[in-house]
Amino acid sequence: MPHHEDHHVHTGGMGAGGSCICVACGTKVPHRPGVPCKEERCPKCGRVMLREGSPHHLAALEKRRKSESG
């Protein structure tokens, strides 16, 4: 019996929907399919955007919360 390999590559993406958010100023824009949010720049302040709800976004929110609480 021949051996068949699975050549599907998981890219770790979050799908086509959702939003990109700027953790610096809060601006939110629709996610463009095929373009990671981390490659987008905020139209208001120019900072790198993050996918809303992603582990990076949640970590940035937690970091901000900790720095604001002292």
DSSP 7-31: ---------S-SEEE-TTT--EEEP
Residue 9 has what pLDDT? Answer: 36
Of 16, 68, 24, which is closest to residue 50 (Cα–Cα)? Answer: 24
Residue 13 has what pLDDT? Answer: 64
CA distance 65 to 63: 5
Position 63, amino acid: K
Sequence ranges of the domains in the chain: 19-54
Residue 14 has what pLDDT? Answer: 65
Point out the residues of the chain with pLDDT beneath 70. 1-15
